[in-house]
Structure 1
């Protein structure tokens, strides 16, 4: 479990994190979301003892990171995939980490196999692509078989197969009872990966809830309807207090009425339907809605 209580971090007059409190539960994949400059990376660094908060504290399984005697056995982290000496091989890099925490070299070969780097373990990490570097960083995070894992943008540089692999891998880790916190700007991927969300903006907590509840609270479900009698159907729907919009392909998008009621209304009035499909709000729509006041940089 990860616990943050009143975390606050200033850089001069800039407030990067502002009285931030949350809990990351074990057995779940928790997404850590926020616009650029929201304070996500700073928060992760404070959790790992790399930055010292001005106020508040962060605990990993009940202890500050600095009090962990063999930290890699409790928490694994990937914050920067390129944090590796370029002239070290992947295997040498992991062996150096392993020796620092009294981890066997056998475990090094195990995690290389887990992330698919066994065939290139002898190559210098400086020549790795971003996707390969990400896999090496994940291997380092897994080295001590920790109960808590933090990943910052872990899918950067991964191909589609790699993205599916890391998604399934995170679900498996959480299914083993581990705590998994992952930060990403790829909202479509987070919608498939994260079961819970922590959303921050300008260093403050915006929401902590399940992914489904976050989307439900910030968006409105609708129903997509296609009919050869679209004009008649629109009149019927408008008369029932539903709100209809036009889709680009000529379909109707209906708000405020469920699919069953629309189907019954159409059947009672002899209106043929070619499509009647509920449309759920997306994580992207919910995120944009709830963080619009927290975006630091806007495009023209």
Structure 2
């Protein structure tokens, strides 16, 4: 379990993290989300004792990181994929880490197999692609068979097969009862991976809830309806006080209502419906509603300069 308690970090006059408290529980993948500059990486560094908090505390399984006798056996982390010495092979890097932490070489071969690097274990890390470096970083995190795992942008550089693999892999780790905290800007991927979410903006907690709760809270309250009597239905829904607009395929999008009311209205007036669909929000919709005022940069159109088709780019 991870507990952040009133965590604050200042760099001079700049407050990177402000009175941040949240938990990540065993048995779940917890997504750690926020716009660029929200304080996610700083928070994760404080969890690992790489940065000292100005105030507040972080506990991993009830202890500060500095109090752990064998840290790699308690918590594994991937914060930077390319930190490995370029002239070391994947195997020699892991053996060096293992030797320093009293771990057998057998475990090295096990984790290389887990992340799919067995065939390139003898190659120098400097020649690895970003995706292969990510896999080596994950292998390093797993080396001590820890119960707590921290991953910062673990799908960077991975192809679609690799992204699918890391999603299933993290979910499998959580299913074993481990605590998995993962930071990512790929919101579509987080929607499929994380059961729980911690959302921060400008260093402050904005929400901690399940992914489902966050997405449902961003429901757009819109209904897509298709009918051969478009004009008649449009007149009726406007008469009910609902907003309505046409979509690109000739259907109607009715705002501020549910499918049940539109279905009843159509039935009462003998209108045939070809489609009646509640429009649901997405994690990206929920994220943008929640963090729209907390991004570092805004475009001239009023949107985040960091948005991509898949989410928010770092």
- Per the normalisation by structure 1, the TM-score is 0.97
The whole-number CA distance in structure 2 between the counterparts of 1:273 and 1:252 is 11
Residue 271 of structure 2 corresponds to 271
Aligned to 1:145: 145
- Residue 241 of structure 2 is matched in structure 1 by 241
Q: Alpha-carbon deviation of 1:248?
A: 2.2
Q: Helix, strand or coil: the match of 1:112?
A: helix
Residue 96 of structure 1 is matched in structure 2 by 96
Distance in 2 separating the partners of 1:10 and 1:93: 34
Give SS of 1:131's match.
helix
Equivalents in 1 of 2:132, 2:221: separation in Å?
40
Q: Distance in 2 between matches of 1:244 and 1:281?
A: 18
Which of 210-219 and 159-168 deviates more? 210-219
Larger deviation, residues 151-160 vs 239-248? 239-248
Q: Which runs of 5+ in 1 are unaligned?
A: none
Deviations 1:25-62 (A, max 9, x none): 11111110111110000000000110000100000000
- Determine the C-alpha separation between the residues in 2 that align with 1:273 and 1:132: 51
For 1:26 and 1:205, how far apart are their aligned partners in 2? 20
Report if aligned partners of 1:218, 1:290 keep a CA contact under 8 Å in 2. Answer: no
Give the superposed CA RMSD: 1.2
- Matches of residues 196-215 of structure 1 in structure 2 within 5 Å? 196-215=196-215
Map of 1:161 onto structure 2: 161
The Cα shift of 1:242 comes to: 3.0
Cα distance, 1:281 vs. partner? 0.3
Q: Distance in 2 between the 1:70 and 1:136 partners? A: 21
Number of aligned residue pairs: give it. 300
Structure 1 segment 224-235 matched on structure 2, within 5 A: 224-235=224-235
User: In the aligned structure 2, how far is the partner of 1:92 from the partner of 1:222?
Assistant: 56
Question: What is the match of residue 13 of structure 1?
Answer: 13
- In the aligned structure 1, how far is the partner of 2:42 from the partner of 2:16? 7
Query: What's the CA shift for 1:21?
Result: 0.7
- Deviation at residue 255 of structure 1 after TM alignment: 2.7
Q: CA deviation at 1:298?
A: 1.5
Counterpart residue number, 2:312: none
Please state whether the residue corresponding to 2:266 is helix, strand or coil: helix
* 1:1-300 → structure 2 map (5 Å cutoff): 1-300=1-300
Contact 2:219 2:279 in 1 (8 A): no
Q: For 2:187 and 2:166, how far apart are their aligned partners in 1?
A: 15
CA contact (8 A) 1:222 1:279 kept: yes
Preserved contact between residue 224 and residue 251 of structure 1 (Cα < 8 Å): yes
Determine if contact 1:37/1:202 at 8 Å carries over to the other structure: yes
CA distance in 2, matches of 1:195, 1:89: 36
- Decide whether the 8 Å contact of 2:218 with 2:282 is kept in 1: no
Task: Report the Cα offset of residue 82 of structure 1.
Answer: 0.5
